Amino acid sequence: MTGTYKTTALAFLSLLAFYLIFFFYPIGKILAIGLSFSSFEQAFTSVSIRKALWFTIWQATVSSALSVAIGLCISSVFVKSNFRFKRFLESLTFIPFVMPTVVVASAFISVNELLRLDNSPLNLQGSALGIIVAHIFFNTSIVVRTLTSTWPMIDFESEQAAQTLGANRIQIFFQITLPQLKSGLISAGSLSFLFTFTSFGVILILGGLGKATIETEIWRYATQRTEFETAAVLGIIQLLVVVAMLTINNKFLTTDSRNSNLLSKARYSHPVSKFRKSANTIFILGFFGFPFLVLLERSLRTPAGYSFAYYKQLLWENSAERFAIFGARKAIFNSLIWGALAMLIATVLGLIAAYLLTNKSKALSQFSGVFLMLPLGASGVLLGFGILISLNRGFFDFRSEWWIVPLAQGLLGVGIVARLSSNAIKKIDPTIRHAASTLGASSVTIWRRIDFPIITKAVIAGSAFSFALAIGEFGATSFLVRPQRPTIPTTIFNLLGRPGSSTFGQAMALSVILAVITWLVVSLLDRTGSLSSNDF
Amino acid sequence: MKFIKLLLGLIVTASIILIFLPSCSDNSVNETGNKSKESCLKESGLKEIKLTEEAKKSALGEIIDLVVYDAFLAPEGVFERFKDETGITVNILTTADTGTMVSQAVLTSGNPVGDVMFGIDNTFLCKALNNDVFVPYKPGTWNELREELKLDASGRVVPVDYGDICLNYWKDSFSISPTTINDLATSNFSGQFVTQNPETSAPGMGFLLSTIAVFGDDWEDFWTELRSNDVAIRSGWSEAYYEDFYSKDRKIVTSYATSPVAEYIFADPPVEAPPTAIITDSCFRSIEFTGILRGTDSPIASAMLVDFLTSVYFQEMIPETNFVLPANVNAKLPEVFLRFLEDVPNAVSISPDDIDANRNTWTERWTELVLR
């Protein structure tokens, strides 16, 4: 057993070193600016800051609760039934994550105008409702991803047993299915809470600054007003709330049912009704598909009627003089490389992290559960600024290296991969491992032959997420200083920043290309995932 | 178990040390505000960089970083030409918007991320100067640069380009076109104007500053009138321009004097003349500067880059990529600019000191008046 002890220690230390250098040290250094009694006093007596804190907490709670509820409905249909276009619909729920925030927000604004909601109570612009709807749009995909990767692993035989014994659907769902999904639900809920708690672009574009959150206030104080003290105090408050939330979550995560019957072919008890299937399809097409259709329509609409003119300009006439400055083809190439790199970092470190989360020692697993997820709940603005003032000397002088960008994106992905995979690892019956070990298998063999095939689907779900996050350039990366290399999101930004009918059309076309590339990569990963998980 | 307790102890101590270490280290952030009584444009006492022919040779083979805001696009091949001429390689480092770029420079003042900054404007200028972000250097081109743009006489920042933030409108939308800022408050143009939040958008800030420059203390009344005349506020330029203005829901928008030129260049299919025009009254003049970041390892190479950025060659290249106007009087405008750029004879301005001292008060008053 000393072997596992050593491996655990090594895994823990290497992860810790990575987090210390690229997260705790930079964020600690910037937050330290706010460590003074007067700045705390000032922050807590400010009405606007208290208002922002309250709004942030309630909108994040409501948004993530609703996302979990909607995600649960959608995934139950996916898990329990098979129908044509299921795969397609499943991948469609992923679309929100692959569209730049600017584009999603502008799609919402145009929905608002299309349905004439401007002066009605359902107005989506500048209102809390709009922010919540947009957050549900983004986060439901996290919930669906998490649940569809863990749900098939629960023990369906007990559902069938209960059915035989006369339990009705509702009883089965609440007393048998839901408790087994607990860890998946909590993971999904906490991930979407973290995303909505620190969300930035959506709030700024849809809410204006009329609806401020902690993150937009941090941005305002740190970047527009150069008042780092106030920004740092806000960052400390934000992290405290996140730590509290994660600690509470972890308490619920520790006890979990194991499924000793992974090989069971029984898959579901009650079949899904036709009505639910079609309701599900309509909802996904309407809610997730609509903003994408708006985008697609705009990318094809030219003054001379519908055509692929903007795609041609982007991909073939890119070297033509007037569009050469945007460098769209290079951008697609760069984005793919960075996304792949971030995914690699997130997957490797996330897998190591997953084993810490499932460690037998409660202290270690709970502690890891909090610290691994922290980057997702920390302010992107402050992390970016922290890296500038900390990784700047001697051996650690890499604040403006090109690889700091995929690395920061990978850092965000580690927590996601870890959470998703650990849910799957927990489902593995330890007696199988014990049996293998008694028969002389080394820990590496056990991992390769037992653990890996079982958790593949969950790992791939996490990797796909980190790829989408990275290629969409989510969070902290916009506040890092980096060498100028065009990527898809920066090129969209530059196109949208210059007047002219064709620059706008090209921006829309490039957004469609981004969505399609990510969607292709995700579906491809899914395919390999489901192929290899058939092996067990 | 013991091992884990030991580790936990180690981590806690390490994080406490890491967090408290910086508060006693030398990397202190200068407080802004205390110095606001004095002008940020006063003599700084920082030593000026001098460039000699001999020094120039020593910079051969150096690599320097040019820090720019996110919307800056380098004209194709210009820095390759600089390398051919001087043997110095230029890397471009992108940050975020101008406000973020300047804040980052203030945070790292004395130990900068790059060597030269491009694009700090007159609205953020004092934040940088109060924190000694730049070292003075007057390029060889100093006398060719427009006098009215040289806000800092000591050369800590050197004007590199300028542009006017002006109201744009669709030419075919009005039988009588708007001509002054006052028209926005009249019933003829009710529900026609969209602008940006000054705290999240540079043109939005420019327009707020125009109203303050034009109406003085009465600027709040003007905004109250605008609000009752149904002004729309968006967070950024793109939302206002492409959502409201392009759909013609709103026919007047805050943008730039050069926007109609871009409308001509990027039109598809090509057009005879721009479909939009500007109101030349009450435009706000935005001036962009370049400066050498204090603490650079390569002052000589940096100085040579500032010479290059203000040279006629570079100055003639930037209008078509960045839609700004050259600061060097000898630089000729591209042909399309000569044809379609409307002249703005009396753009308004506010001194950087006033902007720095009042920015927060103005934006807070504006938020109360317009958003609440």
Instruction: Give the residue carrying structure tokens 């590199």.
Output: B160
* CB-based contacts of A121, cutoff 8 Å, min separation 6: none
**Predicted-complex ipTM score:** 0.86
The pLDDT score that the predictor gives to residue A168 is: 81
CB atoms A228 and B22 under 8 Å:
no
- List the structure tokens of B225: 């009138």
Share of chain A above pLDDT 70, in %: 91
Write the residue in B92, B99, B262 that is nearest to A223 by C-beta.
B99
Q: Nearest Cβ partner of A502 from B14, B242, B267?
A: B267
Nearest-by-Cβ selection for A501 from B18, B73, B268: B268
Per-domain residue ranges for chain B?
A: 49-162+286-340, 164-284+343-371
Choose, out of B68, B120, B235, the residue to mutate when testing the contact with A (most A CBs < 10 Å). B235
Distances in whole angstroms, Cα of residue A258 to Cα of each of A154, A165, A180, A431: 8, 22, 9, 11
Integer angstrom CA distances of residue B277 from A215, A521, B166, B205, B325: 38, 44, 10, 21, 17
**Whether CATH 3.40.190.10 fits B164-284+343-371:** yes
| Mean pLDDT within A364-369 | 81
Q: Which amino acid makes up residue A154?
A: I
Mark yes or no for CB contact B321/A325 under 8 Å.
yes
The answer for residues whose C-beta is within 8 angstroms of residue A30's C-beta and 6 or more apart is A228, A232, A235, A382, A383, A385, A386, A389, A390
Which residue type is seen at A427? Answer: K
d(C-alpha B43, C-alpha A165), whole Å: 89
| pLDDT for A492 beyond 80 | yes
Confidence of residue A3 (pLDDT cuts 50, 70, 90): low
Give the number of other CB atoms < 10 A from CB of residue A127. Answer: 18
**Can you give the pTM of this predicted structure?**
0.87
pLDDT for B107: 94
pLDDT band at A370 (very low <50, low <70, confident <90, very high): confident
Q: Give the pLDDT of residue B250.
A: 94
Q: Do B114 and A9 touch (CB under 8 A)?
A: no
pLDDT of residue B98: 94
| Angle, CA A18 vertex, CA A12 and CA A19 arms, to 5° | 85
User: Concatenated DSSP letters for B260-328?
Assistant: HHHHHHT-SS--SS-SEEEEEEEEEEEEEEEEEETT-S-HHHHHHHHHHHTSHHHHHHHHHHH--EESB
Cβ neighbours of A496 in B, within 8 Å: 238, 242
C-alpha B252/C-alpha B191 separation (Å) is: 9
CA separation for the pair A378, A371 (Å, rounded): 11
Binned at pLDDT 50, 70 and 90, residue A186 comes out as confident
Q: Can you read off the two tokens belonging to residue A15?
A: 């992860």
Q: What are phi and psi of A117, to 5 degrees?
A: -90, -5
Averaged pLDDT of chain A? 82
Do B49-162+286-340 and B164-284+343-371 show the same overall fold? yes
Substitution target in B64, B95, B126, B293 with the highest count of A β-carbons within 10 Å is B95
Query: Which residues 152-181 in chain A show a CB within 8 A of chain B?
Result: none
pLDDT tens profile B292-346:
999 999 999 999 999 999 999 999 999 999 999 999 999 999 999 999 999 999 8
CB contact at 8 A, A424 and A149: yes
Look at B238 and A110 and tell me if their CB atoms are within 8 Å. no
Decide: A103 and A511 in contact? Cβ < 8 Å. Answer: yes
Matching residue, tokens 């804040």: B103
Considering only CB atoms, B4 lies closest to which of A364, A483, A500, namely A364
Please name the member of A5, A385, A498 whose beta carbon is closest to the beta carbon of B107.
Answer: A385
Lowest-pLDDT range, A2-11, A353-362, B90-99? A2-11
Q: Which positions in chain B touch A505 (Cβ < 8 Å)?
A: 268
Nearest CA to CA, how far is B262 from chain A (Å)?
6
Interface of A with B in 24-83 (CB under 8 A): 24-25, 28-29, 31-33, 35
Residue A306: strand pairing partners: A301
The three-class DSSP label of residue B161 is strand
Start-to-end CA distance of chain B, whole Å, equals 56
**B239 vs A contacts (CB less than 8 Å):** 105-106, 109, 205
By C-alpha distance, the chain A residue nearest B239 is A106
* Residue numbers in B near A209 (CB within 8 A): 197, 199-200, 235, 367, 371
In this predicted structure, the answer to whether residue B152 has a pLDDT above a threshold of 90 is yes
Instruction: Provide, for chain B, the percentages of residues in helix, strand and coil under a 3-state DSSP scheme, each rounded to the nearest 5.
Output: 45, 20, 35
Nearest chain A residue (CA) to B90 = A483
**Of the listed ranges A68-77, A172-181, A268-277, A375-384, the one predicted with least confidence:** A268-277
| Distance of residue B143 Cα from the nearest chain A Cα, in angstroms | 31
Rg of the Cα atoms in chain A: 24
Q: Note whether B284 and B347 are within 8 A (CB).
A: yes
On the question of a cis peptide bond just before residue B269, with omega within 30 degrees of 0, the verdict is yes
Indicate the residue of B32, B235, B359 with minimum beta-carbon distance to A205.
Answer: B235
Give residue A325's pLDDT: 67
Residue in A closest to B266 by C-alpha: A500
- How many residues would you count in chain B? 372
Confidence of residue A324 (pLDDT cuts 50, 70, 90): low
> Which of B20, B108, B243 has the CB atom closest to A388's CB atom?
B108
Distance from CA of A326 to the nearest CA of B (A): 8
Closest alpha carbon to B4 in A360, A295, A91: A360
Q: With 70 as the cut, is the pLDDT of residue B19 above it?
A: no
Query: Quick one: pLDDT at residue A107?
Result: 77
Q: Is the per-residue pLDDT at A479 higher than 70?
A: yes
pLDDT at B211: 97
Range from A306-315, B61-70, B302-311 carrying the lowest mean pLDDT: A306-315
Return the closest-CA partner of residue B101 out of A32, A484, A385.
A385
Q: What is the pLDDT of residue B112?
A: 94
Provide the shortest C-alpha distance from residue A364 to chain B (in Å): 7
Domains with residue ranges and CATH for chain A: 2-301+309-535 (1.10.3720.10)
pLDDT, tens digit, 9 for 90 and up, residues B166-196: 999 999 999 999 999 999 999 999 999 999 9
* CA gap A304, A287 in Å, rounded: 30
Is residue A16 within 8 A of residue B10, CB to CB? The reply is no
Is the model's pLDDT at A534 over the cut of 60? no
Q: Is residue A209 within 8 angstroms of chain B, CB to CB?
A: yes
pLDDT-derived band at B28, boundaries 50, 70, 90? very low
- DSSP for A305-359 reads EE-SHHHHHHHTGGGSGGGGGG-HHHHHHHHHHHHHHHHHHHHHHHHHHHHHHT-
Q: What is the pLDDT of residues A63-89, one digit of tens each?
A: 999 999 999 988 888 887 777 777 788
The one-character DSSP state at B159 is E
In this model, does residue A29 exceed pLDDT 90? Answer: yes
A223 has a chain B CB within 8 A of its CB? yes
Query: Which helix or strand (DSSP H or E) is residue A471 part of?
Result: helix A452-471
B371 has pLDDT over 90: no
Q: CA A221 to CA A46: how far, in whole Å?
A: 13
Phi, psi values for residue A127, rounded to 5°? -120, 160
Å between B67 CA and nearest CA of chain A: 8
Scanning every residue of chain B, which has its alpha carbon at the shortest distance from the alpha carbon of A397? B113
Distance from CA of B41 to the nearest CA of A (A): 19
Classified as helix, coil or strand, B10 is helix
CB contact under 8 A, A483 and B94: yes
pLDDT, tens digit, for every residue of B1-17?
A: 454 555 556 555 555 55
The arrangement of secondary structure in B49-162+286-340, i.e. its CATH architecture, is 3-Layer(aba) Sandwich (3.40)
Name the residue with higher pLDDT: A384 or A103. Answer: A384
Name the pLDDT band for B33 (thresholds 50, 70, 90): very low
To the nearest whole Å, the CA of A248 is away from the closest chain B CA by 19
Residues 6+ apart with CB under 8 A from B23: A32, A33, A35
Higher model confidence: residue A46 or residue B144? B144
